[in-house]
């Protein structure tokens, strides 16, 4: 995983830039038509005469599309300018009020000049103020309908995107924290192993320091969180050389890596805590000093990757709980973050202990990680 903070693409909830802009415009057209039809149904149920009904429909057919376009343009502008929510709301109310006044005046003028349309307001000498108020109230009602039809779905979509990216950022941060703990932990243990050889066998200590330098160089150069199995096994073999030299004669490693698994992807340093645990709590606890750790990798029937780290130690007692140390907990958590369908389990008996990692289909780890970088 990259050590620097990930740069997420700046996704702003713009009605024009959104991939769902076309469905949203179709929804807007449907809202306009729906409001007109509902108003028509209301007039018909109220028993209005046909002249009044068609006159009202003509006003709405002119006002609604223009108002919706103006509100949509205002919304896009407010998003690009990063206006606050109160400012955007005030702008929308202002636009609706202006449209209501204009069309209210037109409505009043039509009522005064065409009495046969029956658009007048009874018992009023001057219908203009009431007509303007009528226009403003209707425009504000249409503004509320526009907000529900356009802004509310977009707000839900944007909230979902933000929640998704927040979860990914938390996962990235947690993975960084796990790696920050694991790598110094490995380095200190390896340096302690070499320190025991400084006085006993300085030449071997120098050779192992060179080997450690190779390990650290590889760790620094590869910044990706995922790594091919063959590269991780190559790295572990050098780590095993250090441990075998430190515990000369009492520890050896065996490797059984299937050819078809060489290119499988798994999180970097995933197996190192399992190997360390098998050495410290398994192989080196044998009374006869013939400790052995076997690393296996194979494909299951579904094409998934199965990694097994097995020791020939005395096994865990009833009082011991597998996977309670930080390293093993980190392995489990990294699997949860990088491959949700992966698992880590332990099998122990008097002949040894197995740590078994099952990752599932080969694409699971890659797709889980790639979704955070997209």
pLDDT digits (tens, 9 = 90+) for 22-72: 566 666 667 667 777 777 777 677 666 676 777 777 777 787 788 878 887
The torsion angle over the Cα atoms of residues 155, 158, 163 and 165, rounded to 10 degrees, is -170
Q: How far apart are the first and last CA of the chain?
A: 14
Average pLDDT estimate for 200-208 = 82
* DSSP code at position 5: P
Residue spans in the chain of domains classed CATH 3.30.565.10: 196-373
Q: Is the pLDDT of residue 353 over 70?
A: yes
Tokens of residue 267, six digits: 């999180």
Q: Give tens-digit pLDDT for 128-137.
A: 777 778 778 8
Contact 256, 297 (CB under 8 A): yes
Residue 292's pLDDT is 96
The DSSP result for 111-157, as a single string, is HHH-GGG----TT-S--HHHHHHHHHHHHHHHHHHHIIIIIHHHHHH
Contact 335, 358 (CB under 8 A): no
Q: What is the pTM of this model?
A: 0.52
Specify the CATH architecture of the domain 196-373: 2-Layer Sandwich (3.30)
- Count of alpha carbons within 13 Å of 269, Cβ hemisphere only? 27
* DSSP code at position 342: -
Tokens of residue 159, six digits: 């909230």
């Amino acid at each position: 995983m990259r050590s620097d903070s990930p740069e997420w693409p700046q996704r702003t909830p713009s009605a024009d830039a959104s991939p769902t802009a076309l469905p949203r415009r179709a929804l807007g057209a449907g809202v306009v038509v729906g409001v007109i039809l509902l108003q028509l149904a209301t007039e018909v149920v109220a028993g209005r005469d046909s002249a009044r009904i068609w006159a009202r429909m003509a006003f709405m057919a002119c006002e609604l599309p223009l108002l919706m376009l103006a509100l949509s343009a205002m919304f896009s502008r407010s998003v690009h300018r990063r206006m606050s929510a109160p400012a955007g709301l005030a702008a929308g109310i202002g636009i609706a009020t202006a449209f209501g006044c204009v069309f209210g005046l037109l409505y009043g003028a039509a009522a005064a000049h065409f009495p046969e349309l029956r658009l007048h307001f009874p018992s009023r000498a001057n219908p203009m103020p009431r007509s303007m108020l009528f226009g403003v109230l209707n425009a504000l009602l249409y503004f509320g309908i526009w907000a529900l039809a356009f802004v509310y779905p977009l707000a839900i979509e944007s909230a979902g995107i933000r929640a998704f990216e927040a979860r990914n950022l938390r996962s990235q941060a947690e993975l960084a924290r796990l790696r920050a703990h694991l790598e110094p932990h490995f380095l200190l243990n390896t340096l302690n192993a070499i320190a025991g050889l400084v006085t006993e066998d300085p030449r071997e200590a120098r050779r192992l320091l060179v080997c450690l330098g190779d390990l650290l160089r590889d760790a620094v150069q590869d910044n990706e969180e995922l790594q091919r199995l063959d590269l991780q096994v190559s790295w572990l073999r050098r780590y095993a050389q250090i441990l075998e030299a430190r515990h000369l004669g009492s520890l050896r490693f065996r490797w059984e890596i299937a050819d078809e698994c060489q290119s499988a992807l798994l999180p970097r340093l995933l197996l190192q805590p399992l190997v360390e645990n098998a050495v410290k709590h398994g192989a080196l606890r044998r009374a006869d000093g013939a400790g052995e750790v076997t690393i296996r990798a194979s494909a299951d029937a579904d094409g998934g990757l199965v990694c097994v780290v097995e020791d020939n130690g005395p096994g865990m007692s009833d009082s011991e709980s597998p996977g309670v140390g930080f390293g093993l907990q980190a392995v489990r958590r990294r699997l949860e973050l990088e491959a949700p369908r992966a698992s880590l389990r332990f099998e122990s008996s008097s002949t040894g202990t197995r740590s078994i990692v099952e990752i599932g289909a080969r694409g699971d780890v890659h797709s889980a990680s790639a979704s955070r970088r997209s």
